[in-house]
Structure 1
């Protein structure tokens, strides 16, 4: 709700670092949130004063209780409110009059319940705002700060947190409980945890700003269901990921909006694509599942970032080693080419049947001494950036001995700053060596693919740290006045879809290279229009409501004579007549036939939640089938533009293969910046679809072959 309030770091720091806490709704009754909340705060050893507030009890947990926060004689930094919904506004009033500056609102029953609850939530926000209070929630499970100077666990469920350097944020309270359970079970230490609930006031970007400034937080993990202010999130996240990894699960993936879209750009720009664009631009690592979130977390929390993407694999089983190798290739990593010295050292310690090449298959008879020796050798290979160790439990080996051997090799070579990830394919329980590995700071996985994916995420983040976001660009050589007039004229005629000539005029005003197009609305006018264009030429249907022209036989190529023109017109007329709902009025456009070039698609999509999205990809009639496109949120930065281009699967084709020349990438960058500027200058634009733009090598100008635009009316 509070999407436009300015960030105030000091306010959020006060929320997480209180010296005194009042628990409103503290209870003696077992099974109540008020009782559990107070118990958790006390059991974790809060380094401050706790005040139970209960209007009908003099003592709670052998502590003096107060009928109201107004009766507490000393200042209170944080109020944790667990009272029934009908008492919430009065509780906030009492906190405001007391001078309390921070609230954690546990109470539920607001916007998540419907219109009445949403109305109450708006009242709550206005009341909190009027007192200058910062509030977490409502409908949340609380906050945690494990700082020894604070020691606050103001949650009502879950285990006691293990102190560490991971910041965890969950928009879901129920999932927050599961996250805390899982983190404790994996010995992942938390610096802080927050369940935001409905995000009425304190938002995701508020918490990110806090973590970015918090020296104890080295890694941040998010589970979010929606954004507030997307632009602000991107700004804060981009700043944070310069020095701290940020890994996120964003739920609510859907393509429902795409199915109703009318253009290529819209059908490819479902809201989830917008989320990806934000994360990519900000350097956030997105995962699909909470399980993968934890996979990544244990690697980032304990291991150094790799200096490169070269991976050495050792295993006592051939099958898992092959799976890991396939995953390395699939994730874009590289299998290490061992130096001759490394190969010789491996042969000296391995059994005769073992492989001294990467992946190193030590065979099933390999014991703890082999794991230790080979680990030493691989970590010291100059061509190795990271190592993955795979152990499959055979009858003859004790997994604890193997785990201890891996730890010894790891500890001896820590100074090399190479990450080591372990795949321990053993049973859990007392006989497993997993606790030995985790106690040494080694991430442990059940399957090799998970280890490789986590390592690939580390490599990607290392690249995020290296890249410079650069600046945005603006242009003085654009004609905004003419674009405004064109849009206003169409709106005055209640036309949502612009005519081809109007779209070309807008693109020309922003220095896009466009064709000479002639609009013809009568068959008898074809000859005159063709003289202005020149043969050979292309004829395209022009009719409101027809977006994909080739779907209705509405594109005729390489027309060379007057007879060709008339035959093409007649064929289009026949095709339109056969439609279930033929257009009432139609015409055609004539334009020059351009040969060669690579087909590119460019686009603007006005996302209702995130603002204008800019698209770049491989164009042509198969754009929606291939889906080889990338999106970023305007305004584009230099890093955005470069990553949009190189992210395409078809990038090698654009860069030139088999002796072909590369397209003019500098011109593509320029056009993307201009498209971003157009989108920001004119929020009237709902969709702009440039498909195709023919891109040529340096020295040949690219050209817009077809474009369509829709506007708000």
Structure 2
């Protein structure tokens, strides 16, 4: 059978490659094999980087823990090896090797975490896999894996390869190689499927594989697809659970446990319900078990409602039972303070270590309205109607209010999750699931915190192309988060967070009511093709309000038809048909306020019929109703309360128009998301190597010197003009002569370089006398000229001064900004932000989004700047920051944007070592609670 996931490090025969022979898991020692009875000598082992340890999600949606191997793992390794089959051992070592000698164990567990690196994968207290590389020169290493037989097929080798490759890149390794027996096709396919370009050869009955581990676009895409499938599978297991156990069920009425049992049973759950309570024999007519382990059948999901201090014991019971996931309703965790935070940290670590995913703690629960898997595993007594929207929120109390609103509006949900403290399962996990869920067409998010904005940005950019995402973000202005939500400190301004949402296509709204306003339009009506609107109604006053509201939010009213107060159904039908057939109309707003003693049912039938058949969105203010009134609903074959084509209604025309404008903006965003053109390919390797060399000389980091900055920017095709520092009149004259005159003398100190009166600059200096005059004048008007930082530089072509900056934010990762250079930009806040990587559309929007953008397009007779060159420069800075996190700040403070292109005159940068990996590195990893940080 081809089910063995193991391969051997080549070199045991020393025949195929011109290098020192190596053993199958590490360097061969020249000493004779140590007898098993002897204790081998141990050596001090250096400490591995902290960020190499992580929880990971496997292909089946279960968790495991990956970490560097250590001397303390000797017994674990021996136990693991004893559980591996003889066939797997043979595939690994190419020879029978029934046991590991003490010298083998010592060698395999004592590595330097540099030239020899090894990772183990554990579940609970057991090691289930080991992977390692051993470098045989400065840039090449041999890689090998061994996976316990009954854990094969779970994607473990791929996870190990990702983490080994990342560790190798951090240690300067560029190429991996491995020897595999020809019939071990699964291992060969593991390497080929990784997304790297694999070269292979065949000699002495062994397949030799070799590939560069640079994270290519293909390799990153493969990794992200695996991440997507694993996270989606983990969430699907909750929603499609075939059996649920309520742990902490109670016979007493009005208790949390009793409510959970009642909601499951009365919610028409189609699977098996088990109750766990050691103090009683039955709850709500169901037999009660003393523990999860006593349940005779399988348990997919456990809903936990026991005191916080007892939850950890429940985790161990569920792990022994083979439960997939936990929904922890119990409170008393991070929301209560430091003691609760520590308790929550232990809970998450324990659950993941045994392969369980966790929703909560301190949550409301989950709901699935699919008739085939209908499930109300929550405290909500309201079971929302079947619908097209998936809803994620964090607050349990708010979750109840949300479900009430959904029910009252007739919106309907596909699935609902209240994640509470979001200790494990987060909104990113739900997005991965909803992306492929055919029942979910609209995603709704109420976010109280974002644990990993970079990953959120990456996922939403992809999901938004297929399905609209509507989000409310609390703490938007204060950047505050509730108790229990530990996240890294945000260094980026609030505008950067808003930009991330817009860049990702997320429809960000201010209130829950506005979220539902937008959602009911997206769930029931088609997307508009543009901003042109027709207003049809029977009230002149409301028609004028609708028109004013539309113009105020950027819509264009091309047609306004007011039918009069006595207009009937036929009048509305004719007017609506004409508006929808008009090629200059993209959407229709219908306003109907009936006369006294008129029900309006005939007009409602017309609106419903038109809404069902139209390929343009139709919104209404019908009888002042909110939501989707029954009269405007279209039956849905899928069983939803309101089908596709139902017409949403709003109590005020302003709300209808505002919701339509949000949807129009989203439709415009979708229309721009085509295939992005490629710039000239830039190889980041020289820049990475240069920064690494700088940090080797300056381990604590440094501000780059001018010549160092020129070299770094040149790697990305950015030409920084030479500025010669001068400290005397004579040096200034010499610098002017060296540059061939036509130069400028200017002060560059922070306090001077952006003076509005420009009194720190003397331009167009053509000879020594002019330079002497310039020097005398500037040193006379500038206080403390010795610290002014004078430089001499060639005169640049005229242009609009702009600045491009980037920073490595502790939460966001790279953030890039653009604005007009100078103090007025800072005073007016006229600066825009984006999160790399940037598309051509992103860069173009940045340049045009600032309020001062007309200066670049010939404002009041000025020259039109080469905007394409500015956009190119923005993309290059973004790529540099995205590629090299060690660049903590980069500021192109003065770029003159003129008709002939963009000239970079002044720049600065600071490099520092990376203390922690980015939260969205080139490996899959789950949230790890470390101290008060939550890198997801």
- Choose which of 213, 222, 227 in structure 1 pairs with 2:445: 222
In 2 relative to 1, CA 59–302 (structure 1 residues): closer, same or farther, beyond 3 Å? same
Residues 434 and 191 (structure 1 numbering): CA distance in 2 closer, same or farther, change over 3 Å? closer
User: Which whole-Å CA distance do the structure 2 matches of 1:233 and 1:472 have between them?
Assistant: 24
Question: Following superposition of structure 1 onto structure 2, how do residues 514-663 of structure 1 map, counting pairs within 5 Å?
Answer: 514-523=720-729, 525-533=731-739, 537-543=743-749, 546=751, 549-550=754-755, 555-558=760-763, 560=765, 561=770, 562-573=772-783, 585-651=787-853, 653-656=855-858, 662-663=864-865
What TM-score do the two structures reach when normalised by structure 2? 0.66
CA RMSD of aligned residues (A): 3.2
Deviation of 1:608 (Å): 1.0
Deviation, 1:189, is 0.6
**1:225, 1:250 within 8 Å by CA — same for their partners in 2?**
yes
Aligned residue number for residue 82 of structure 2: none
Q: Which residue of 1 aligns with 2:682?
A: 475
1:512 aligns with 2:718: yes
Asked whether the equivalents of residues 541 and 554 of structure 1 are also in contact (C-alpha less than 8 Å), the reply is no
State the distance in 2 between where 1:481 and 1:218 align: 42
Specify the alignment match of 2:871 in structure 1.
669
In 1: Cα distance, 2:811 partner to 2:297 partner: 44
- What do residues 140-182 of structure 1 show as CA deviations (whole Å, max 9, x unaligned)? 1100000001110111135221111110000222221111111
Partner of 1:331: 553
Tell me the distance in 2 between the aligned counterparts of 1:547 and 1:41: 69
Residues 181-330 of structure 1 correspond to what in structure 2 (within 5 A)? 181-254=404-477, 270-330=492-552
Taking the aligned partners of 1:710 and 1:558, their CA distance within structure 2 comes to 29
* 1:119 and 2:342 correspond: yes
1:255 shift after superposition: 6.5
Q: CA offsets, 1:546-588, max 9 Å, x none?
A: 48642797732436423133211221226x7xxxxxxx94431
Deviation of 1:309 after TM superposition, in Å, equals: 2.2
**Partners of 1:56 and 1:488 in 2: CA distance:** 63
Matched, 1:703 2:903: yes
C-alpha contact 1:472 1:635 (8 A) present in aligned 2: no
Cα pair distance change 1:15/1:399, threshold 3 Å: farther
Q: Is the 8 A contact 2:843 2:871 kept in 1?
A: yes
Structure 1 CA distance, aligned partners of 2:288 and 2:746? 80
Give aligned pairs, total: 664
Which sits farther off after the overlay, 75-84 or 585-594? 585-594
- What residue is the counterpart of 1:261 in the other structure? none
> 1:491 deviation in Å?
4.3
Name the CA distance, whole Å, in 2 between partners of 1:569 and 1:57. Answer: 90
Looking at structure 2, the residues matched to 179 and 413 of structure 1 have their Cα atoms a distance apart, in angstroms, of: 27
**How high is the TM-score relative to the length of structure 1?**
0.85
Partners of 2:720 and 2:907 within 8 A in 1 = no
1:52 alignment counterpart? 275
Contact kept in structure 2, 1:305 and 1:458, CA below 8 Å? yes
Q: Does the CA-based 8 Å contact 2:526-2:617 persist in structure 1? A: yes
Alignment correspondent of 1:684: 886
- Superposed counterparts of 1:494-509, under 5 Å: 497-498=703-704, 502-509=708-715
Equivalent residues of 2:360, 2:425 under 8 A apart: yes
User: Cα deviations across residues 190-249 of structure 1 (Å, max 9, x unaligned)?
Assistant: 100001122222222211111111111111100112223333323332222222111111
Decide whether the 8 Å contact of 2:865 with 2:901 is kept in 1: no
2:667 counterpart residue number:
462
- Decide whether aligned partners of structure 1 residues 255 and 186 sit closer, same or farther in structure 2, where only a CA change above 3 A counts: closer
Alpha-carbon offset, residue 312 of structure 1 = 0.3
| 1:623 Cα offset (Å) | 2.0
- Structure 2 CA distance for aligned equivalents of residues 489 and 525 of structure 1: 33
Which moved further from structure 2: 96-105 or 362-371? 362-371
Structure 1 residues 375-400: Cα deviation after superposition (integer angstroms, max 9, x where no partner)? 2332232322210012356xx34563
Q: CA deviation at 1:621?
A: 3.7
Q: Structure 2 CA distance, aligned partners of 1:554 and 1:495?
A: 34
Partner Cα separation in structure 2 for residue 230 and residue 516 of structure 1: 38
- What is the CA distance between 1:301 and its match in structure 2? 0.9
Whole-angstrom distance in 2 between the partners of 1:178 and 1:549: 52
1:12 aligns with 2:214: no
Residue 371 of structure 2 aligns to a residue in which SS? coil
Query: 1:346 maps to what in 2?
Result: none
Gaps of 5+ in 1: 258-267, 337-357, 577-583
Deviation at residue 500 of structure 1 after TM alignment: 5.3
- Secondary structure of 1:129's partner? helix
Aligned to 1:414: 612
* 1:449 maps onto 2:672 in alignment: no
